């Protein structure tokens, strides 16, 4: 931790969703302040994302587990209780969360898919900097338990804690419970995130305000940059201002503010360094 007591991880989620996302990640890392990206291993442009990541050795790449509103890694025949006829997870997370909790056969298939996504990431040969989930589904106790049990065998050493300052009071005990479970499991995590309240609108003004008011500890700013295009990247992203988020990551004003703040920037491995637990990896 630097003398300022502040460290910051700047992450792009949905790496691999589309070549527009991948292009934005590469540009924001090479010419801006982006330090990390979370890879969707089963997404349509995952192969392109992996090829770019291999050209960017300083970009810290993690696994963005998809268990809702996205494509599964395994074929439908292996996980029929989880996906539709097109092999996609649904977006009713309350319903699926109940099924994960109460139905043993669904849990068996869920564990199978989580393991397959870890396997797919390992096959890329990229170092695993961190793990998080699409739509923060790891806040579900069953999902978190499975990730902790499976991930330790694939070198998982850090996870995102999706706790944002000024979150509603009712969520704080739950976040404290998640934090405690990560600590007991020996998994490093950030202290807070920025990106929930302004999802899809992490523009220059938001980043400048965030950097000007950085608390002590390890923070993660996550965003969804992409280059401009004629169609939405997904139905749930129709209102997202992807190009504004990319421009914010490329902004000289943002870069200058980060330097002035004196925060250590990088991926989880850079920020935590030797404090990261030893990774256990399958032989």
Q: Give the global pTM.
A: 0.95
Pairing of strands 217-223, 188-189: unpaired
Contact assessment for residue 258 and residue 211, using Cβ atoms and an 8 Å cutoff: yes
pLDDT in tens, 81-113: 999 999 999 999 999 999 999 999 999 999 999
Cα gap 229→241, rounded to integer Å? 11
Share of the chain above pLDDT 90, in %: 92
Sign of CA dihedral 46, 47, 48, 53: positive
In a domain, 215, yes or no: yes
In a domain, 99, yes or no: yes
Q: 122 in the Ramachandran plot: left (φ > 0), alpha (ψ -120 to 50) or beta? A: alpha
Question: What pLDDT is attached to residue 166?
Answer: 85
Tell me the average pLDDT across 198-205.
Answer: 98
DSSP-based helix, strand, coil % in the chain, nearest 5: 45, 15, 40
| Both tokens assigned to 256 | 């200058």
Q: Tell me, what DSSP letter sits at residue 230? A: S
In a domain, 52, yes or no: yes
In a domain, 280, yes or no: no
Domain ranges, residue 202: 6-275
Considering only CA atoms, which of 11, 67, 21 is closest in space to residue 44?
Answer: 21
Average pLDDT of the chain to the nearest whole number: 95
In a domain, 134, yes or no: yes
Return the residue matching tokens 């935590």: 272
Say which CATH number the domain at 17 has: 3.20.20.370
pLDDT at 279 over 80: no
pLDDT in tens, 51-64: 999 999 999 999 99
Contact assessment for residue 136 and residue 222, using Cβ atoms and an 8 Å cutoff: no
In a domain, 282, yes or no: no
pLDDT at 116 over 80: yes
In a domain, 281, yes or no: no
Sign of CA dihedral 218, 184, 140, 122: positive
81 has which bridge partners?
none
pLDDT at 280 over 50: no
In a domain, 12, yes or no: yes
User: CA distances (Å), 55 to each of 26, 49, 60, 153, 189, in order?
Assistant: 9, 10, 12, 26, 27
Sign of CA dihedral 163, 167, 168, 169: positive
In sequence order, which residues have a C-beta less than 8 Å from that of residue 78 and are 6 or more positions away? 109, 112, 113
Question: What pLDDT is attached to residue 282?
Answer: 41
Cα gap 189→177, rounded to integer Å? 13
Domain count within the chain: 1
User: CA distances (Å), 266 to each of 190, 214, 227, in order?
Assistant: 12, 16, 23
Q: Tell me, what DSSP letter sits at residue 130? A: -
| Both tokens assigned to 199 | 């999802």
Pairing of strands 60-65, 36-39: parallel
pLDDT at 1 over 80: no
Cα gap 54→274, rounded to integer Å? 24
Question: What pLDDT is attached to residue 179?
Answer: 97
């Amino acid at each position: 931790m630097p003398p300022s007591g502040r460290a910051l991880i700047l992450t792009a989620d949905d790496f691999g969703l589309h070549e527009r996302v991948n292009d934005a990640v590469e540009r924001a890392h090479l010419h801006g302040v982006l330090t990390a990206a979370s890879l969707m291993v089963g997404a349509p442009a995952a192969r392109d994302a992996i090829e770019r990541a291999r050209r960017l050795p300083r970009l810290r790449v993690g696994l963005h587990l998809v268990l809702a509103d996205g494509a599964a890694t395994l074929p439908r025949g292996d996980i029929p209780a989880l996906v539709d006829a097109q092999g996609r997870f649904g977006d009713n997370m309350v319903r699926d969360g109940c099924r994960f909790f109460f139905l043993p056969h669904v849990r068996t298939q869920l564990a199978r898919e989580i393991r397959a996504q870890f396997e797919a990431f390992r096959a890329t040969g990229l170092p695993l900097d961190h793990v998080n989930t699409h739509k923060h589904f790891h806040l579900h106790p069953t999902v978190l338990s499975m990730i902790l049990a499976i991930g330790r065998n694939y070198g998982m050493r850090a996870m995102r804690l999706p706790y944002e300052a000024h979150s509603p009071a009712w969520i704080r005990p739950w976040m404290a419970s998640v934090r405690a479970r990560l600590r007991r499991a020996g998994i490093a995590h950030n202290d807070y995130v920025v990106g929930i309240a302004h999802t899809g609108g992490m523009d220059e003004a938001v980043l400048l305000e965030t950097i000007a008011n950085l608390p002590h500890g390890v923070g993660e700013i996550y965003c969804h940059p992409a280059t401009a295009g004629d169609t939405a990247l997904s139905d749930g992203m129709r209102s997202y201002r992807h190009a504004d988020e990319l421009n914010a990551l490329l902004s000289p004003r943002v870069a200058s503010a980060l330097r002035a703040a004196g925060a250590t920037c990088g991926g989880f491995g850079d920020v935590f360094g030797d404090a990261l637990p030893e990774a256990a990896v399958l032989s």
